[in-house]
């Protein structure tokens, strides 16, 4: 028995001294024969969060008589039993450039007897690893090729993903999407995901897919859970439009002939959810009580994000103003806004129309003061109250009002505008407003004046993009004259010129983007405001602004197609050879009333039928659903010469329908013996 054992040890030693490339082999035996190791130390345990990297180091003392060589002696992977080694790691997902699948690391230098050997390896915590998860890395030093350990020591190190240090949050905090739509949710800490309410499903990484509509009485929620913490996001899944829902920015207003209220009509599905991606059908507003008010847009108005709006302006006659809304195929709605005569002035409110301004001694801002009744409405019948605007004593070096320290003016329709001018000293200019009537409370407002440099560049400060095509889609771009630090130079009246990129702003069927306000505007207090309109749809029209001696700028605006109106059909090429092989493509497009392809909404089920001829064979099956408003069909020639015409239509009994399906144009293809 001893001789057999000695022979085995000799064989093991012979293998151990050969150059070794690594690999899984038998484990759980001690090499012996001069090979020995004892634990000396290790780096601290770590707390790396998900998707980050860390490093471990282990130190073992060579207390044997054999030299340790790189690539021969390594830190083997062991299982939790600490005896089964040289095996794939249970933490294989953490691998980061390990020596092999069964070995963490090898020594980087020769380790003679009586010296320490260092084994250093990296790891990466997998994405979405939950907080509080502990990964333990067990190992022992051994011979890499045969997997024998030098002396079992039970080494291990661990990484524990940290617990959240703040409340768990989820983004977006709420969502609205159609059936079949998807949205990606994220949490501030790796989480598990669930859906409550049955409106959809969610993946382990937070990708939500909407499967069924819900309603306010059937709430649906996405929940993220992490280390005992949770966060939720309300989800609305909507269907096709079924009705309109009316609302107003205010249900009470003043019968003064100038007050306005925004009336909205939202496209709702059968469960009362707003159809947030709807641009059709158009909405017609009707003012039922014309003696009490007027609406700016009676219609038809194209919805934006499922909502159409109009502006209601009061008359001087009080009463309940009623505005109704209707749309083709939908249940309509109405909204009542109560208009009352303004009351007596009880207090004031003040604001600066431009704030901040440059501390350059020339820039001005308008201090607008309104007299308000007890309900907060502007007292437009007040033409008697006298108002005084006075700069505070601390502001004496910062500003003037109408070129003085104080100014008095009579109210007109409950309002006074004061002109406040900066000095060359920056700061916070406070204006105090008082009245000549002790029963009417005064107020105060503060204007910031700041040092600015010379005009250096242009910058787009605001944009109302996107807008729908047509007259209801007026888009506004605000361009500021700025100094080198991006501050608005309110003393500038530079001429700002706008140019449209011919590639991205022209060529659409509906027409080109144009500027009703003109393409050259003098800046007012360092600001130029441009209006844009288009009957053509453009996903990214690039607009460039320039001014003499200033660095220009540009921005992209979007004009979306109007609601679907009709179909068009075209075939290319228009002539093919009668060889039974040549093909042409028939393209059917859903277009708005202005001829733009409607890329959103639908999909529409399209049927293409041959109206005349017999020289082609349609290879594409009917019906086809549109993708981005387009359906394509492949037509192949026969050996018969002739002209085939086709008609496109919305498949019967499918939704959504089109207002003018009969305007679909027929398309034709010629099959000839030769093609020029």
Residue 410 lies in a domain: yes
Give the mean pLDDT of 440-451: 94
* Same domain assignment for residues 473 and 570: no
Give the mean pLDDT of 353-381: 91
pLDDT of 4 above 60: no
With cut-offs at 50, 70 and 90, classify the pLDDT of residue 178: confident
Which range of residues forms the domain containing residue 233?
170-238
With cut-offs at 50, 70 and 90, classify the pLDDT of residue 336: very high
Give the mean pLDDT of 57-79: 96
Q: Where are the beta strands (DSSP E) in 62-133?
A: 73-78, 95-96, 103-106, 116-124
* Same domain assignment for residues 438 and 472: no
Q: Is 343 exposed, middle or buried (0-12, 13-18, 19+ CB in 10 A)?
A: middle
Residue 471 lies in a domain: yes
Q: Point out the domain boundary residue: 129, 160, 191.
A: 160
- pLDDT tens digits for 128-148? 888 889 999 999 999 998 889
Residue 440 lies in a domain: yes
- pLDDT tens digits for 545-577? 999 999 999 999 999 888 788 899 999 999 999
Residue 165 lies in a domain: no
Residue 540 lies in a domain: yes
* Same domain assignment for residues 137 and 271: no
| Per-residue CA distances from 584 to 115, 450, 623, 625, 643 (Å) | 80, 67, 18, 19, 13
Residue 26 lies in a domain: yes
pLDDT of 637 above 90: yes
* Same domain assignment for residues 104 and 15: yes
Instruction: Give the 3-state secondary structure of residue 138.
Output: strand
Give the mean pLDDT of 330-357: 93
Residue 102 lies in a domain: yes
Contact (CB, 8 A) for 76 and 49 = no
* Same domain assignment for residues 550 and 511: yes
The pLDDT value recorded for residue 663 is 56
* Same domain assignment for residues 521 and 542: yes
Q: Which residue(s) pair with 407 in the sheet?
A: 389
pLDDT of 318 above 90: yes
Q: Point out the domain boundary residue: 102, 132, 160.
A: 160
With cut-offs at 50, 70 and 90, classify the pLDDT of residue 15: very low
Kindly report the CATH number assigned to the domain that includes residue 554: 2.60.40.10
- pLDDT tens digits for 493-520? 999 999 999 999 999 988 999 999 899 9
pLDDT of 92 above 70: yes
Cis peptide before 252, with omega less than 30 degrees from 0?
no
* Same domain assignment for residues 274 and 297: yes
The pLDDT value recorded for residue 21 is 37
Q: How far apart are CA 279 and CA 472, in angstroms?
A: 13
Top-confidence residue, 279 or 261: 261
Q: How far apart are CA 399 and CA 424, in angstroms?
A: 9
Give me the number of domains the chain comprises.
Answer: 6
Residue 278 lies in a domain: yes
The residue to which tokens 């197609």 are assigned: 561
pLDDT of 653 above 80: no
* Same domain assignment for residues 607 and 662: yes
pLDDT of 199 above 70: yes
Q: Point out the domain boundary residue: 160, 191, 221.
A: 160
* Same domain assignment for residues 27 and 104: yes
Contact (CB, 8 A) for 46 and 54 = yes
Q: Where are the beta strands (DSSP E) in 396-483?
A: 399-401, 406-410, 415-422, 427-435, 443-450, 457-463, 467-468, 475-482
* Same domain assignment for residues 18 and 111: yes
With cut-offs at 50, 70 and 90, classify the pLDDT of residue 159: very high
pLDDT of 652 above 80: no
**Tell me, what DSSP letter sits at residue 205?**
T
Q: How many residues does the chain have?
A: 676
* Same domain assignment for residues 310 and 253: yes
With cut-offs at 50, 70 and 90, classify the pLDDT of residue 348: very high
The pLDDT value recorded for residue 538 is 93
Half-sphere exposure of 92 (CA within 13 A, CB side): 7
The pLDDT value recorded for residue 664 is 60
* Same domain assignment for residues 661 and 520: no
């Amino acid at each position: 028995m001893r001789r057999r054992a000695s022979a085995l040890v000799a064989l093991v030693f012979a293998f151990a001294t050969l150059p070794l490339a690594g690999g899984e082999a038998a484990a759980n035996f001690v090499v012996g024969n001069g090979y020995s190791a004892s634990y000396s130390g290790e780096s601290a345990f770590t707390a790396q969060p998900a998707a980050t990297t860390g490093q471990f180091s282990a130190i073992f003392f060579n207390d044997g008589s054999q030299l340790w060589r790189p690539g021969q002696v390594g830190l083997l992977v062991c299982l939790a039993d600490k005896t089964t080694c040289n095996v794939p790691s249970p933490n294989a997902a953490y691998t980061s450039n390990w020596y092999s699948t069964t070995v963490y690391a090898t020594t980087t230098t020769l380790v003679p007897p009586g010296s320490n050997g260092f084994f250093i390896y990296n790891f990466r915590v997998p994405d979405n690893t939950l907080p509080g998860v502990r990964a333990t890395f067990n190992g022992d030093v051994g011979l890499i090729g045969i997997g024998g350990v030098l002396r079992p020591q039970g080494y291990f190190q661990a990484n524990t993903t940290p617990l959240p240090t703040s409340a768990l949050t989820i983004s977006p905090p709420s969502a609205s999407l159609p059936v079949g739509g998807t949205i990606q949710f994220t949490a501030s800490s790796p989480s598990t995901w669930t859906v409550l309410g049955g409106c959809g499903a969610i993946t382990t990484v937070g990708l939500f897919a909407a499967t069924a509509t819900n309603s306010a009485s059937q709430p649906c929620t996405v929940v993220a859970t992490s280390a005992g913490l949770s966060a939720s996001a309300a989800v609305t899944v909507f269907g096709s439009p079924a009705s309109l829902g009316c609302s107003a920015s205010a249900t009470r207003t003043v019968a003064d002939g100038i007050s306005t209220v925004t009336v909205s009509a939202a496209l709702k599905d059968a469960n009362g959810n707003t159809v947030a991606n709807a641009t059709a059908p158009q909405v017609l507003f009707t003012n039922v009580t014309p003696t009490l008010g007027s609406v700016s847009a009676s219609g038809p108005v194209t919805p934006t994000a499922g909502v159409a709006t109009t502006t209601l302006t009061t008359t001087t006659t009080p009463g309940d103003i009623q505005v109704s809304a209707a749309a083709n195929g939908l249940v309509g709605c109405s909204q009542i806004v109560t208009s009352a005569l303004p009351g007596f002035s009880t207090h004031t409110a003040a604001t600066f129309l431009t704030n901040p301004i440059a501390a350059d001694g020339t820039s001005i801002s308008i201090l607008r003061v309104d007299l308000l009744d007890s309900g907060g409405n502007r007292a437009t019948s007040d033409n008697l109250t006298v108002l005084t605007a006075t700069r505070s004593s601390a502001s004496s070096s910062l500003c003037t009002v109408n070129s003085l320290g104080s100014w008095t003016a009579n109210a007109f329709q409950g309002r006074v505008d004061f002109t406040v001018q900066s000095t060359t000293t920056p700061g916070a200019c406070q204006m105090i407003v008082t009245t000549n009537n002790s029963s009417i409370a005064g107020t105060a407002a503060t204007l910031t004046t700041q040092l600015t440099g010379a005009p250096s560049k242009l910058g787009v400060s605001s944009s109302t993009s996107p807008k729908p095509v047509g007259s209801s889609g007026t888009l506004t771009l605000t361009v500021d004259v700025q100094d080198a630090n991006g501050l608005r130079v309110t003393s500038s009246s530079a001429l700002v010129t706008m140019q449209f990129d011919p590639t991205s702003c022209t060529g659409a069927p509906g027409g080109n983007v144009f500027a009703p306000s003109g393409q050259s505007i003098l800046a007012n207090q360092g600001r130029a405001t441009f209006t844009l309109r288009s009957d053509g749809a453009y996903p990214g029209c690039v607009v460039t602004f320039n001014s003499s001696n200033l660095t220009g700028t540009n921005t992209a605006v979007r004009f979306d197609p109007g609601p679907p109106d009709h179909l068009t059909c075209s075939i290319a090429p228009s002539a093919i050879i009668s060889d039974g092989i040549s093909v042409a493509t028939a393209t059917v497009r859903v277009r708005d009333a202005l001829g733009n392809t409607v890329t959103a909404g639908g999909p529409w089920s399209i049927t293409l039928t041959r109206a005349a001829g017999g020289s082609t064979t349609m290879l594409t099956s009917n019906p086809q659903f549109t993708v981005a408003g387009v359906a394509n069909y492949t037509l192949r020639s026969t050996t018969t010469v002739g002209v085939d015409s086709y008609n496109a239509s919305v498949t019967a009994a499918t939704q959504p329908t089109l207002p003018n399906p009969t305007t679909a144009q027929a398309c034709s293809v010629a099959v000839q013996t030769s093609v020029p």
